[in-house]
Structure 1
Amino acid sequence: MTPPASDWTPIAEEAERAARVLHPEPNSLPRPDQRRVLTVANQKGGVGKTTSAVNLAAALAVHGLKTLVIDLDPQGNASTALNVDHRSGTPSIYDVLLGDLPLGEAMAVSEQSPNLFCVPATIDLAGAEIELVEVPSRESRLKEALTGEVVDQLGVDYVFIDCPPSLGLLTVNAMVAAREVLIPIQCEYYALEGLGQLLSNIELVQKHLNPGLSVSTILLTMYDGRTKLADQVTAEVRDHFGDVVLKTVIPRNVKVSEAPSYGQTVLAYDPGSRGAMSYVDAARELAERGSSNGSRRGTL
């Protein structure tokens, strides 16, 4: 409920925004027609890839959609943001990929929402690409793990696979396991650097390993409205990629940067912040595009 004009203060406004984020209306976001598996990829580091994966997942989970984050980056930053144990020896995606553990046994529930699950990454994952070289069907290990009954029994609506900032075997596994690629692009000068190589790799995976893969979503991140450059990059990306780009833009926001150091997503750390509200809006767009009642846009 919005406070009366006479009682308005910046703190009251932020509290009201936080309440809307943490206590959304029931069933305000549509369930997808079928489980959506999205690989969040960009080989360029520092573009908001992990941040976007965990905060989109958290926003969907708050709205009642069961969401799984698979941390496929040896740094384990997604696991940190979801406050899931990822010390060496913890059951993790490494054990799943090497065939030693079913996906369900490596899955943990994030304390931030009963609808938010995570398969963590430990430092052991750093050597996985070398170990997988001799493994049969090495590009399909994650896909095989995701087709298990455990994920079906959980009734997961969304799976976000957070990739490392590279185009190696782990990222290829993520693309083979998914039907959609979500690419975060920062609103800065080098935004499109290396993007051509990423799109070429996606085309190779489409051609040889996963014909159903497509780039369904591009999310603009780190937008600074004080600079002309941010507007120029935004316009250029929209002109080039069209409706694949979400209307919502994620602003540069200190709360988004601070949240992982507290083992939280920005929705848990400061739900009334601009960063949290932007990720909720982006999650709403994403959900509406995945529903038969929504406005699914084109793909690349």
Structure 2
Amino acid sequence: MTVANQKGGVGKTTTTVNLAAALSMHGQRVLVVDLDPQGNASTALATEHRSGVPSVYQVLVDDLPLASIVKPVPEMPNLYCAPATLDLAGAEIELVPMVGRETRLKRALNAFDSMELDYILIDCPPSLGLLTVNAMAAAQEVLIPIQCEYYALEGLTQLLQNVELVRVHLNQDLNVSTILLTMYDGRTRLASQVAEEVRSHFGDTVLNAVIPRSVRVSEAPSYSQSVMTYDPGSSGALAYKEAAREMAYRGAAVAEA
């Protein structure tokens, strides 16, 4: 599942990390692939990603096997991370002349023994460049976090068009399966208006769980933790737990169908 939205600051990395942690705490085996050169997901999952550490960059550019960079997340028995380093910032340019540049992550994941895993979550950079295209070409589903603020739906048309282009040309299995409302502030009328608008637009694709604005969620990465371990009783942790449960139920229903 690719977590994508070209707008910055909508909670992509936060969503990826906390859903992965919540799923793993419920016994699911989860791999997070950090595809953002900033490496924030790697930071939150306490996975080393200083420059020079073998990372997703070497997998994409040098054909290094994915298995050689995947690290278990400390104190989270079912959670694994493929880290990103700043080197990844140059990958957008270095991939341009390469053969099969849009499907290099897909090839790496196909060669990776994922039989033991229940979920692979790919955290994308805030752009619609080659890294995000690689993520979409490799995934079956797209999860779009949308913040409950003005401009939330701006740029979404472009994102959906890109998903459709990737589906037609590179990956017929791809679909937008999940939309998650983030940064919800119940005190403002705007937040409920945006939530209403998104739900009327996208119907059942939108999860019932809504992620509230939460200081605890923002603080957790500075301690190299997800909010699930940093403050399990906080409103943010409970909301992500609920979202993960909903996703798992949906996945099970689709599998049975």
TM-score above 0.5: yes
Counterpart for residue 235 of structure 1: 196
Paired residue type of 2:66: L
Counterpart contact for 1:184–1:219, Cα < 8 Å: yes
Counterpart for residue 81 of structure 1: 44
Counterpart for residue 222 of structure 1: 183
Shift of 1:293: 7.9
Counterpart contact for 1:288–1:294, Cα < 8 Å: no
Q: 1:46 aligns with which of 6, 9, 22?
A: 9
Counterpart contact for 2:65–2:112, Cα < 8 Å: no
Counterpart for residue 105 of structure 1: 68
Counterpart for residue 100 of structure 2: 137
Find out whether 1:197 has 2:158 as its counterpart. yes
Paired residue type of 2:118: D
Which aligned pairs between 1:60-99 and structure 2 lie closer than 5 A?
60-99=23-62
Counterpart contact for 1:112–1:268, Cα < 8 Å: no
Counterpart contact for 1:221–1:249, Cα < 8 Å: yes
Shift of 1:114: 1.2
Q: Give the whole-Å Cα distance in 1 for the aligned partners of 2:169 and 2:23.
A: 32
Find out whether 1:181 has 2:142 as its counterpart. yes
Shift of 1:91: 1.2
Counterpart contact for 2:14–2:41, Cα < 8 Å: yes
Paired residue type of 1:282: A
Counterpart contact for 1:109–1:118, Cα < 8 Å: yes
Runs of 4+ residues over 2 Å off in structure 1: 149-152, 292-296
Shift of 1:294: 8.2
Percent of matched pairs sharing the same residue: 68
Q: Give the whole-Å Cα distance in 2 for the aligned partners of 1:170 and 1:100.
A: 15
Which secondary structure state, in structure 1, belongs to the residue aligned with residue 117 of structure 2?
coil
Which secondary structure state, in structure 2, belongs to the residue aligned with residue 150 of structure 1?
coil
Counterpart contact for 1:103–1:150, Cα < 8 Å: no
Q: Give the whole-Å Cα distance in 2 for the aligned partners of 1:46 and 1:192.
A: 14
Shift of 1:207: 1.1
Counterpart for residue 130 of structure 2: 169
Q: Give the whole-Å Cα distance in 1 for the aligned partners of 2:110 and 2:85.
A: 22
Shift of 1:113: 0.6
**CA root-mean-square deviation:** 1.3
Which secondary structure state, in structure 2, belongs to the residue aligned with residue 151 of structure 1?
coil
Paired residue type of 1:107: V
Q: 1:269 aligns with which of 219, 230, 244?
A: 230
Paired residue type of 2:163: I
Shift of 1:211: 1.2
Relative distance call for 1:293 and 1:40 in structure 2 (3 A) is: closer
Counterpart for residue 120 of structure 2: 159
Q: 1:289 aligns with which of 243, 250, 256?
A: 250
For structure 1, the residue ranges without an aligned partner over 5 or more in a row are 1-37
Paired residue type of 2:20: A
Q: Give the whole-Å Cα distance in 2 for the aligned partners of 1:249 and 1:295.
A: 26
Counterpart contact for 2:63–2:108, Cα < 8 Å: no
Which secondary structure state, in structure 2, belongs to the residue aligned with residue 98 of structure 1?
helix
Relative distance call for 1:61 and 1:228 in structure 2 (3 A) is: same
Q: Larger C-alpha radius of gyration, 1 or 2?
A: 1
Counterpart contact for 2:18–2:228, Cα < 8 Å: yes
Find out whether 1:117 has 2:80 as its counterpart. yes
Counterpart contact for 2:57–2:85, Cα < 8 Å: yes
For structure 2, the residue ranges without an aligned partner over 5 or more in a row are none
Counterpart contact for 2:66–2:112, Cα < 8 Å: no
Counterpart contact for 1:42–1:183, Cα < 8 Å: yes
Paired residue type of 1:200: Q
Paired residue type of 2:251: G
Paired residue type of 2:123: D
Q: Give the whole-Å Cα distance in 2 for the aligned partners of 1:280 and 1:149.
A: 28
Q: Give the whole-Å Cα distance in 1 for the aligned partners of 2:254 and 2:138.
A: 26
Q: Give the whole-Å Cα distance in 1 for the aligned partners of 2:80 and 2:59.
A: 16
Q: Give the whole-Å Cα distance in 2 for the aligned partners of 1:185 and 1:74.
A: 21
